[in-house]
Amino acid sequence: MTGTSLRPRKPERPPAPTDLTERDRFAALAESSLPTVRANAEAWRNGLAAFVTVVTTGAVIKGRDTTADLTTGWRIAVTLLIGGGIALSLAGLWQALAAQAGTREGTVTLADIHRRHASVAAYQVALADAAAVRLRRGRSAVAAALVCFLLGIVTTWWAPVAAPAPATYVTVTHGGATTCGTLKSADGRNMRIEVAGTVNAVVVPMDEVTSLLVVARCQSG
C-alpha cells in the first residue's frame, strides 16, 4: 500500500472548446442563480402581500355578516378554515420575504466560504438553493391557504342557518278589551303594541291594564 502513488496525473488531452464553453456557461449560471431566485421571490412576495391584504380586509369587513346566521358549530368551522387560510398566507409571505431578502446574519469571510463551500461560485449556488427551498415552502403554504379559503367559502354556502328565536307576543286585557301583538315600548303611563294588520301601534294606558300575558302567538278572532 505504501508504494501506491497518489500524485495527480496529467490529463490525457487538453480541454476541448466545448468543455471550456460548458465551464463558462456553468459559471454564468452560478453567478445568476441567486439574483434569479430572489427576483422570483420578490414577485411572489408582492403578489402575496396584496392577496393577504385583500383577504384579510374582506374577512374583517364581511366575516361577521357572513357567519352571523350560522349555528355555533358551523360558525366555528368557518372561523377555523378562514383563520387557518390567513395564517397560512402569512406563513407563505414570510417564506417569500426570507427567500427574497435572505436570512444569513453576521459577516462571512472568504476563508469561511472556502472552508464550507470550497469556492465562491458554490457558495452562491448554496444560497440560491436555500432561497429556492424557502420559495417552494411559501408556494406550498399559499396553495394550502387557497384550499382553506375555498373550503370556508363553500361551508358558508351549505351550512344550515340557525333557527330564528321564536317570536313572543303579549296579550293585554284593558278596559274590557283584549289586545295581542308585539310590545314596542312601555313607559310609566302607556304601552304601545304593534298588532298585525294595523299601521299604527295600539296605545294602552297603564292604569287600564287588568292583565298581561306573554304568549307564543296571538289567537285569531
pLDDT in tens, the chain (221 residues): 455 556 667 666 666 666 556 655 666 656 666 677 777 777 777 777 777 777 777 666 665 666 667 777 888 888 888 888 888 888 888 887 777 776 555 566 666 666 776 776 677 777 777 777 888 888 888 888 888 888 888 888 877 776 666 667 888 888 788 888 888 888 878 888 888 878 888 888 888 888 888 887 887 65
Strands (E), 47-189: 169-174, 177-186
What angle, 0 to 180 degrees and rounded to 10, lies between the N-to-C axes of helices 72-101 and 120-158?
160
Distance of CA 194 to the CA centre of its chain: 45
pTM, two decimals, is 0.54
